[in-house]
């Protein structure tokens, strides 16, 4: 609870500094752009966070995003799928789920370390995307207007344009489902038990391999969702670069939100807050005149500070007991 209160206060401080730094930060347009980025990064952070809670890790998220975005762009240029985009969406979601299933099986059944499996996946899926697209940009042009309207534009609710990006609303919907799953179902408690002590969870009768595989499937499926939304935003996919470094953003958002890389800790609310901090930090630094070239430095410094604080609090709690 103390950790959660700490990250909430940190978010409020960062947001307050952002508003004070520049009047432009208070504009509706800036808030819309921030909300859109929070929605996008939040989706992959949510997937990574659920996996981290079980004690797993996925370094292939960015490559999965690139592969799924490229595949989605190519499918939508086929007349049949352009007329029935829901089928293209289902195919991309199934591909993302299959990738997660493959990762999970290799980790739990073949007993290959998760770091090695997903690091190899980082190269495999990036190379597969480049091969699939002939290493060329795949764009949508002026096609798929209704789909872009459905997945990318602002939202109208009860006839009122609330000017909220769809990515944020999709993220909040997924977060609501994740809250029910993680915090109000027995299966979510299994996730925490596996992350806290996998051997003890196995001895207590939990099918640990099955739920770890599920965590990998959820993580990669979230990456597929992100890839489709990113394509709607950018209108094209570059197989050699789309999604690059996103696995780091996903893990950073989850860790900043209180997920411990040791497993067994974290919450959906924390992931939402961590993602918001992740988006606000570079925005704040840019408003203060800090070069955008230092964005990674700002994020890395905040992540390191969070990790140090987590370790200090853990040791303090252990000594208090």
Higher pLDDT, 162 or 114: 114
Residue 117 has pLDDT above 60, yes or no: yes
Closest CA to 281 of 270, 269, 297, 265: 297
Q: Report, as an integer, the average pLDDT of 20-40.
A: 81
Q: Report the predicted TM-score, pTM, of the whole model to 2 decimal places.
A: 0.91
Higher pLDDT, 282 or 236: 236
Band of residue 91 on the pLDDT scale cut at 50, 70, 90: very high
246 within 8 A of 68, measured Cβ to Cβ: no
Dump pLDDT digits (tens) for 264-317.
999 999 999 999 988 888 777 776 667 777 777 877 877 787 677 767 766 776
Higher pLDDT, 82 or 273: 273
Note the pLDDT of residue 1: 64
Please tell me the distance from the alpha carbon of residue 26 to that of residue 226, in angstroms, as a whole number: 27
CA distances 271 to 22, 25, 265, Å, are 27, 23, 11
Note the pLDDT of residue 41: 95
Note the pLDDT of residue 313: 66
The pLDDT > 90 percentage for the chain reads 58
161, exposed or middle or buried, with CB in 10 Å at 0-12, 13-18, 19+? Answer: exposed
Place of tokens 């950018």: 234
Q: Report, as an integer, the average pLDDT of 208-221.
A: 97
Band of residue 158 on the pLDDT scale cut at 50, 70, 90: very low
Higher pLDDT, 19 or 100: 100
State both tokens at 311: 């370790």
């Amino acid at each position: 609870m103390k950790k959660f209160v700490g990250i909430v206060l940190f978010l409020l401080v960062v947001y307050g500094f952002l508003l004070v730094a520049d009047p432009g930060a208070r504009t509706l347009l800036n808030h819309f752009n921030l909300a859109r980025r929070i929605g996008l990064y939040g989706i992959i952070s949510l997937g990574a966070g659920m996996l981290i809670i079980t004690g797993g890790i996925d370094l292939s998220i960015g490559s999965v995003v690139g592969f799924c975005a490229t595949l989605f762009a190519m499918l939508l240029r086929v007349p049949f799928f352009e007329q029935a985009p829901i089928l293209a969406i289902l195919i991309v979601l199934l591909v993302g789920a299959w990738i997660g299933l493959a990762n999970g099986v290799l980790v739990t059944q073949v007993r290959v370390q998760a770091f090695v499996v997903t690091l190899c996946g980082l190269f495999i899926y990036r190379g597969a995307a480049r091969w699939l697209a002939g290493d060329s940009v795949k764009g949508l042009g002026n096609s798929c207007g209704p789909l872009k309207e459905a997945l990318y534009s602002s939202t109208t609710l009860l006839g009122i344009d609330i000017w909220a990006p769809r990515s944020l609303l999709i993220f909040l919907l997924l977060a609501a489902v994740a809250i029910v799953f993680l915090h109000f179902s027995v299966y979510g408690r299994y996730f925490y038990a596996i992350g806290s002590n996998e051997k003890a969870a196995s001895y207590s009768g939990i099918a640990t391999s099955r739920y770890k595989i599920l965590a990998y499937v959820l993580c990669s499926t979230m990456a597929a969702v992100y890839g489709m939304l990113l394509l709607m935003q950018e209108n094209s996919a570059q197989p050699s670069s789309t999604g690059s470094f996103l696995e780091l953003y996903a893990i950073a958002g989850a860790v900043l939100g209180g997920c411990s890389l040791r497993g067994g800790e974290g919450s959906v609310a924390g992931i939402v807050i961590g993602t918001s901090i992740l988006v606000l930090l570079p925005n704040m630094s840019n408003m203060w005149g800090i070069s955008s070239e230092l964005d990674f430095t700002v994020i890395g410094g905040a992540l390191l500070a969070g990790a140090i604080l987590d370790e200090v609090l853990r040791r303090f709690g252990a000594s208090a007991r």
